[in-house]
Structure formats: structure tokens, C-alpha cells
Structure 1
Amino acid sequence: MQDQKIADRNTPYWWEASPLQSLPQQPVATKLDVVIVGAGYAGITAGLMLARAGRSVAAFDAMNPGEGASSRNGGITSGTIRPDFATITRHFGEEKAIAIEAEGKRAREFLYHFIETEGLNCDFQLVGAFKGALGYKQYDKMARSAEALAKRLGIETYAVPRGEQLEYVGSDFYRGGTVRKDIGGLHPAKFHAELLRVALAAGLTVHSHTPVTAISRDGDGFRVTTSAGTVEARQVLVCTNGYTDGAAPFLRRRLVPVRSRIIATEELAPAQMARLMPKLMMMGENRQLGFYYRPSPDGKRILLGGRDSSRTGDPVASTLGIRKGLVEIFPELETVRLSHSWFGNVAMNRDMIPRIFEKNGVVYASGFCGSGVVWAPWVGMHAAHKLMGQGERARSAFDFRPPAAVPLYRGDPWFLPAIIKGYAFQDRITLWRERR
């Protein structure tokens, strides 16, 4: 049997420098302009905007604020849209595809400006990102896509042939790749803590460990039932993403929570870090279940994440699977000790595109599909403008029809292990084809 202690800790590495904040309990207001369900990046950003506009607003979270994906993610400011440009064009038309692609650029620019102007101390560094190709055919396609993206949006992005690959990543696993200079990294738990700090100072009330259990119409407004009392609200915004429960059944049928697991190595020697991650960039790869990885903000260890097919508990096999990916990319790390292994939920929908939409008067901002560091603050900000009726400022390419419901799904993703195994099989076939 495998040793049960694969990593020293099963809590996020990020919590070492930025522990979870347990807010003091306070009475629940009986009347509010806006109730926000969820106190992650999206909910807190929306609450900040609304409070600064003079609205009485409170955010309710079933856990500590940010205890979900907001303090468990990799901290990469990718703003990835999972379907490629051709797929979005086929499903929604070229105009929508161009708008979605352009919004990614604006969302990253918004995030970077927001961090700077608000003085958010979150270890942000605009270091760029490298994405590895599995084979030369894939490399050619990625190189053409990078060239087209640079022409359409003026983003600094370019191809890196295999002969120059070691200048970006100390691995022979890839067959070249592409670089984007508009992507960076931050400390996700510090980012949330700083967001929370400025939002509380602006007048947002945040109730931790206070789940919302029901939302119902009450005349022109809503009656929101929480574990600490009932609130009459003029408007309701739901930002629960991968932690959506029965309080929002319409959204729950459309978002599938998927575990994403991250491991952190022990501190590595400076020479080894310089060899494996010479430019200290954010890293990804072009496969269905691709790993994402990065240096820690202090540049002393490597953090690597990927999909976790487990659904309950914290099984050893899940950490071993992610560790296997680390060694596949960096064979010399086969015996390295892991300091941390943890997981959190990301939320996928059938379109794989983030969304703002309204249903029966409730506004929803969710479905970040694993790229919430960029999309959650952006979508939360636009949802706040939508609630305030600020037409042009609220305009977003993500504000359109709700994603379709997942057939036979009511909140229990029983089908995920089979789907992930299917993706893993596709990846093996792709790797075989690319390297024949």
C-alpha cells in the first residue's frame, strides 16, 4: 500500500502566507438593496462596485470568504476561453467570437489596472506564459493561431521552436510552443484578502458561514432565506460558481463542479529552478487534460495542477496522478518531496464560456471554466453594472442566454470519472499521433 502521507500538508500552499479570514458574526439586515450569494472574487468585486455606488449590499458565503476556488487556484492570469476561435464562430457566429476574444484582452487589462490603482498587495508579476505543443503538427497549428491573434488584437505572442524551448522551460517533453506576454501570475489568497479589505472599507457587509438556503420572489423584490435570518432585497446576484448548491437550482443544473488539484514541491536549489523555469513564466500545455504549472511567487518551488477525477474525500491516488504529470515534464524531480497537495472546484458549462444572465429577475455571474482569476472579477464588475442599470458600462460579450442544462444532472456529477478517463484516452491517442 502507498504511504498515505504523499505531501506534508493537504491544505493550499497559499494559506501559509495568507490564512483564511474568519469574519466576526454580525446581525443580518432585514432589508437590503442587493444580496450577493457567494463571497469569492466575483461576489466581492460586485459588492465593492455596488457599495461604492451607494447601494446597501451584503454578501453571504457558506464558508469563509474566499475559501473555495478563490484561494485554491493556481494564480495564473490566463483568461483562457476553452473553445477555440473556430468553434465559437461555428456555434455563435464570427461577431460573437471576435467580441469574446477581444474581451479577454480587456479583462486582463482591467485586472492589472485594478491591482495597481487599488494598491492590492498580491505578488502580481507580468512574466508571460509558455504553452507547450505535444508534437510538430500541433506546434504548427499553435504558431499560426498565435500569429492570427497578434494581428487581430495586437497581443504580443509568438511561436517558440523546439530548438529554443530550453530558454523557456527546462524540459524535453514538448515539441516547441507559444508565448503570450500579456499573462502573469499572482498570489490568489492574497488577492482575495486584498479584495475583501477594500470592499469592507467601501461598506460591503460580508457574512461568513451563513449559507443562503432559498431565494423567492416577493412582489417587486426577493425574499432571501439564510441560516441567520431572512432578508428582503430589491435585487439578488448569484456568484457561487463551482460551489453552487440547492439554493440556486436553475444554475446548479447548468454548472458542473470539477475538482482541480495542485501540488507544490519542496524548495528547490536556485540552480535547479533556474534550469527548469529559466524565465519564471506561467506554464501550460495543449492537451485535453493539460497540466498548468508555475514557480511560486518567491521563485523557490514549482506548483503544478491538473484535473482530479475523485469526487469525495482526499484520495492518495489523486495526488499521485498529478505528481506523475510533474515527473513526466521534469524527470529529475522524481524523488522531490511535496510540501502541499490540495484541490478545489472549478465550474464547467456546456458552452465552456463564462456567463452573465438573468432568470426570473435573479442575476447570475458564473461559469469561469477554470480561469476565474481573470474572469471572476471582470464578470462580477459587469454584473454590478447590470444591476445598477448602467447600460454601456454593463455591456459584455458574456451577457447572453443561460448555458444549456446538462441532461440528467441535478448537482451530483456522477459521470465525471468516465469523462475524465475519456479525455485521458484522447490525450494518449493525440500524443501517439503527434510523435509517430
Structure 2
Amino acid sequence: MKQSLPISIKSTPYWWDDCIFPQLPERQLEKTCDVAIVGGGYTGLSAAIELARAGKHVQLFDRQMIGRAASSRNGGMASGSIRPGRNDLIRRFGTDRANDILAEGHAARQDLWRFIEAENVNCDGTHTGAFEGAMNAEENEDLRRHADFLKERLGIEAYSVDRPDVHDYIGSDLYRGGMVRMDIHGLQPAKLLAGMLRIAAASGAVLHENAAVLNFASDAAGVRVSTQRGQVRAKKLIICTDGYTDGFDPWLRRRLVPVRSRIIATEPLPKQVMDRLMPKRMMYDDTRKLSYYYRPAPDGSRILFGGRDGTTEGDPLAPTAHLRTELARLFPELANIGITHSWFGYVAMHRDMIPRIFSRDNAIYATGYCGSGIVWARWLGKKVAMKVLGNEEQARSAFDFDHAPKAVPLYRGRPWFIPIVYSMYARHDRRTLQRRTT
């Protein structure tokens, strides 16, 4: 029998402890609107803000309280990462589009911070940069080449770190080198969501929480959307449910696989320990297939450590224990450290493994962030709003495709294969560790 989390460990996100979400009044369902939006995370709120400010009548629907899904459960690392490497992107999309994809990440990160500053969103932003650790000499050389590309082609401040200098960035002996890039920062994701929620409501968007969309259908006049509260007619529909896509859209659900990403928070650590383990208070990740991401809390008091969960139901103890083991692999002195929080959220993986905008009839989709949604979700929400408004220049994006990701074979909504994939990645990482050189 699976053991559940001890009562002493909170199963709610660490971020919720000091974030107050706006209380939304229940709004009357309006039978018609210009645009209906399904999903109230960063993407949906971003689109709602742009459209409402442009004078469109917008109704947004979320099946739970808005913002309690991935947008307030993630690690707060504004990375805008792309999972495929540059060579893989070139092979699949050609050199020009591959470079455009990487360049757009830089533009999206800059745009996020402009939004935060212009809208006075207090979300504990930390402009510290990020360190990516290499597990062996071969991966360290790959990171060196990538840093050169970022610096020479995209103008991003990036540089490689040789093994003797790793301790300048992280107090661990696990890595054989690494890369620093200074355009990746941290923030408090729940506070960003709460700020966007307030802005969207103030912009005139009609926000319906605890109002699940049951199904929809396109016709010559637009889209008919059936919800728990009744039917709505809209000229356009924007769908941005990502890892929380359910049976309201079976076609999309066959293309997105929800994967749990779990984060643990340590108990408070002495300042001298934090100074030794995270001397520059950066954002961190590494090159393993079962990628781990970690960071100091915004106040520098503790470490938040995350990775893929590997489970598909319940809230078992094993994934928390696994993260504690990996935290101790990184920082052996924390082997017996107390854990105050352990929570998970769903990210959406798919066969293309890059964020996507695509259309089907009168519905426009922005989805598939593959675990890097803070930057991409808000950016693609803005882009799909521009598409609806007919602003071709501002809508242009390297992530706008004329087709959807392919359906996942034998998949209808229950990710039965996740433990198998998880095990394969774990074996790959063990082989990688075996190739380490001095």
C-alpha cells in the first residue's frame, strides 16, 4: 500500500502561504460574447487582458478557482526553455525557424519583465541569472557551444563554467562544469497570477471560476460553448488548458500528456549554509533527462527543489522521498533536512516538445509548454489575442504552426505509460553518470 505524505508536510504550494488571491464575485453568464476563453492560467488571463483592453467582450471559464493550477504551482523560474536542442530544432524545422524559436524566447522574457514593471505587479522578481550544471565532460562541451551561440547570435550574456569554478556558483561536487545565462530570472508565480487576475478583472473581462466547459462546437456563426452554467455563443474560442485538459476537448486531450511536476521546500536554513550552497542565489537546473530544477526562496531562507513526479494518481510519499534523495545527492549536508512542503502540478508534454499555437475551425489553441510556462504561457496568450484582433505584425510568432501536434498513439487521457518513460529516463541518467570523467 502506498504511503501518503506525513501530516507535518503541507501538500499545498509554498507560494500560497504568502499570496492572497483576489476574491471574484460570481458573474451572470452572458449568452453571447466576442471571445470565449477556456483556462484561467497565465495564457488565458494574458489573452483576456489584451482583448478586453482592445474593446472585445470576453468571457473566461475555469473549472476550478482561477489560478490554482499550474500557474501558481510551478517553480517560479522564468526560463522560457525549449526542450529540444538547437541541432534537433534545425533538423526538424530548418535553421531559420530554429534560430527564430530561440530568439523569441529572449524577446518573451524581456516582454514579461516589461509587463510586470508597467503593471506594477509585485511578484518578488529576482534578476540573478541561471546556472545549468553538466553531468559529464561531453555535456559540458555542449553547454560551452550553446553559450557561444547565445552570446554571438542572440546577444544574451552567457558563458561556460569550467569545473574548477563551479563552486563559485553552487556548493556541490555533482557537476563537471556548466553554463550561466543572465537572461533567466526568478519570481513568485502565485503573486504573478494574482496580479494578472486583478488586471484582467479591471480590464473588463468577465471571469467565471468553478465553471467547467463541457463541450463546444464550431459552426458558420462562430462557436457554441456549453458550460456548467449554460450555453454561450462566441465568435472565437481560445483554448489554453495545457496540462489540465479534460474531456471537454477529446481531440486536444489525445495530443497533450499531463505529467506531474513536484516541488519540495526545505525548512529554513542558516544564512551561512545558503551562502555556501547557493552563493549567487541563482536559478538552477542540469542536463539530466529526468531534469531537476531548484532555486532559493525569494527571501533566501530555504531551497525549493523540483522534478518530474513519475506518478499518475494520489499523493504518495515516494516522489517526495525521491526528491529528498536527489537533493542530498546534490548537497550531501542536507540529507537529513526537514521538508515543510511537497506539492505537484501538471505540465503538458506532446510529441513536438515545443510550445504551440494552432487553429481548428473557430478555435485557437495556445498550449504545450512542456514545463516552461511562466514565460511562454503569458507570451502565447498575448499572441493569440493579437491573432483574434487581426494584428498580423504583433501576432507573428515562430510557435504559430498550421497544424497541431500529432496524437499520441494508444492514449485517450490516462497516461498509463508515464512510469515506463520515467524508468527509461532514469536508466539514461545512470549511464550518463557512469560516463563522468575527472
Aligned to 2:231: 230
Give the TM-score normalised by the residue count of structure 1.
0.98
Q: Which amino acid letter does the alignment assign opposite residue 283 of structure 1?
A: Y
1:330 aligns with 2:337: no
Q: Structure 1 residues 6 and 429 mapped into 2: Cα distance closer, same or farther (>3 Å)?
A: farther
1:170 aligns with 2:175: no
SS in 2 for 1:430: helix
After superposition, the C-alpha distances for 1:67-102 in whole angstroms (9 at most, x for unaligned) are 110000000011100000100110111111011011
**Where do 1:129-148 residues align within 5 Å?**
129-148=130-149
1:103 aligns with 2:98: no
* Distance (whole Å) between structure 2 residues aligned to residue 391 and residue 4 of structure 1: 50
Aligned residues: 436
1:419 aligns with 2:421: yes
SS in 1 for 2:374: helix
Q: Which amino acid letter does the alignment assign opposite residue 120 of structure 1?
A: V
Aligned to 1:409: 411
* Distance (whole Å) between structure 1 residues aligned to residue 65 and residue 247 of structure 2: 19
**Where do 1:72-221 residues align within 5 Å?**
72-221=73-222
Structure 2: segments with no counterpart, 5+ residues: none
Aligned to 1:55: 56
Deviates more, 1:212-221 or 1:320-329: 212-221
* Distance (whole Å) between structure 2 residues aligned to residue 56 and residue 4 of structure 1: 44
1:356 aligns with 2:377: no
Please say if residues 6 and 316 of structure 1, whose CA atoms lie closer than 8 Å, have aligned partners that are also in contact: no
Once the two structures are TM-superposed, the CA of residue 149 in structure 1 deviates from its matched residue by 1.8
Deviating above 4 A after TM superposition, structure 1's stretches of 4 or more consecutive aligned residues are 1-4, 19-22
Q: Structure 1 residues 206 and 433 mapped into 2: Cα distance closer, same or farther (>3 Å)?
A: same
* Distance (whole Å) between structure 2 residues aligned to residue 2 and residue 387 of structure 1: 48
Once the two structures are TM-superposed, the CA of residue 419 in structure 1 deviates from its matched residue by 0.5
Please say if residues 21 and 65 of structure 1, whose CA atoms lie closer than 8 Å, have aligned partners that are also in contact: no
* Distance (whole Å) between structure 2 residues aligned to residue 389 and residue 26 of structure 1: 29
* Distance (whole Å) between structure 2 residues aligned to residue 314 and residue 261 of structure 1: 10
Aligned to 1:399: 400
Structure 1: segments with no counterpart, 5+ residues: none
SS in 1 for 2:186: coil
**Where do 1:368-379 residues align within 5 Å?**
368-379=369-380
Please say if residues 242 and 255 of structure 1, whose CA atoms lie closer than 8 Å, have aligned partners that are also in contact: yes
After superposition, the C-alpha distances for 1:172-210 in whole angstroms (9 at most, x for unaligned) are 111111000001000000000001111111111111110
Aligned to 2:32: 31
Q: Which amino acid letter does the alignment assign opposite residue 322 of structure 2?
A: G
* Distance (whole Å) between structure 2 residues aligned to residue 344 and residue 119 of structure 1: 27
* Distance (whole Å) between structure 1 residues aligned to residue 146 and residue 89 of structure 2: 14
Q: Which amino acid letter does the alignment assign opposite residue 405 of structure 1?
A: A
SS in 2 for 1:9: coil
Please say if residues 22 and 197 of structure 2, whose CA atoms lie closer than 8 Å, have aligned partners that are also in contact: no
* Distance (whole Å) between structure 2 residues aligned to residue 185 and residue 174 of structure 1: 22
Please say if residues 61 and 211 of structure 1, whose CA atoms lie closer than 8 Å, have aligned partners that are also in contact: yes
* Distance (whole Å) between structure 2 residues aligned to residue 415 and residue 63 of structure 1: 27
Q: Which amino acid letter does the alignment assign opposite residue 176 of structure 2?
A: R
Once the two structures are TM-superposed, the CA of residue 143 in structure 1 deviates from its matched residue by 0.8
After superposition, the C-alpha distances for 1:348-384 in whole angstroms (9 at most, x for unaligned) are 1101010011012210000001000100000000000
* Distance (whole Å) between structure 2 residues aligned to residue 404 and residue 179 of structure 1: 34
Aligned to 1:297: 298
Q: Structure 1 residues 160 and 65 mapped into 2: Cα distance closer, same or farther (>3 Å)?
A: same
* Distance (whole Å) between structure 2 residues aligned to residue 54 and residue 384 of structure 1: 12
* Distance (whole Å) between structure 2 residues aligned to residue 302 and residue 358 of structure 1: 40
Once the two structures are TM-superposed, the CA of residue 322 in structure 1 deviates from its matched residue by 1.0
Aligned to 2:289: 288
* Distance (whole Å) between structure 2 residues aligned to residue 378 and residue 145 of structure 1: 24
Once the two structures are TM-superposed, the CA of residue 329 in structure 1 deviates from its matched residue by 0.3
Q: Which amino acid letter does the alignment assign opposite residue 291 of structure 2?
A: G
Once the two structures are TM-superposed, the CA of residue 2 in structure 1 deviates from its matched residue by 7.0
SS in 2 for 1:434: coil
* Distance (whole Å) between structure 2 residues aligned to residue 106 and residue 223 of structure 1: 35
Please say if residues 170 and 276 of structure 1, whose CA atoms lie closer than 8 Å, have aligned partners that are also in contact: yes
User: Kindly, what percent of the aligned residue pairs are identical?
Assistant: 51
Once the two structures are TM-superposed, the CA of residue 434 in structure 1 deviates from its matched residue by 2.6
* Root mean square deviation, CA, Å: 1.3
Aligned to 1:386: 387
* Distance (whole Å) between structure 2 residues aligned to residue 366 and residue 19 of structure 1: 27
Once the two structures are TM-superposed, the CA of residue 8 in structure 1 deviates from its matched residue by 2.0
After superposition, the C-alpha distances for 1:20-49 in whole angstroms (9 at most, x for unaligned) are 555332211011000000000000000000
* Distance (whole Å) between structure 2 residues aligned to residue 299 and residue 364 of structure 1: 37
* Distance (whole Å) between structure 2 residues aligned to residue 3 and residue 352 of structure 1: 32
Please say if residues 40 and 66 of structure 2, whose CA atoms lie closer than 8 Å, have aligned partners that are also in contact: yes
